[in-house]
Amino acid sequence: MKRLLLSMLCSLLSLAAMAQATRPVRGVVFDGNGIPLPGATLTAVGSTNSVTSGVDGTYEIMVSPYTKFIEASKEGFISTQAEVDGSYLVFKLQVDKKYAENKAKAEEEARKAAEAEQARIA
């Protein structure tokens, strides 16, 4: 009887350990032109687990067995999510045109402000 209980306890503990195990998801992040995109952040949705894509756009993130989606994001690009249905995911991030327009406007305003300050000093 003790052996049976001990065996059942060991089985339950091993199942609990397996449930907490993580698995790798690998892939590549590209920009809209199909060029590898370094510096993109990949996050397991519903957790704080994230990694950054390398210089060749590749990444590897460890996720729980319960992770359903991974999100790819990068400043200046539209974030996107993909369902984890295997161990390899490819993301293609499109340029956020509004971000680019707003950044260009802000840079132009900063340039004009700097010119005005320079003219005021001179």
Percentage of the chain exceeding pLDDT 90: 61
**Per the structure block, which two tokens stand in for 28?**
């590549």
Q: Identify whether the C-beta of residue 48 lies closer than 8 Å to the C-beta of residue 67.
A: no
The sign of the torsion formed by the CA atoms of 90, 48, 37, 94 equals positive
**Per the structure block, which two tokens stand in for 100?**
């680019």
pTM of the model as a whole: 0.69
Q: Could you read off the pLDDT of 4-36 as tens digits, one per residue?
A: 554 555 555 554 444 568 999 999 999 999 999
Q: Report the distance separating Cα 51 and Cα 78, nearest Å.
A: 18
Across the chain, mean pLDDT equals: 86
Q: Identify whether the C-beta of residue 45 lies closer than 8 Å to the C-beta of residue 67.
A: yes
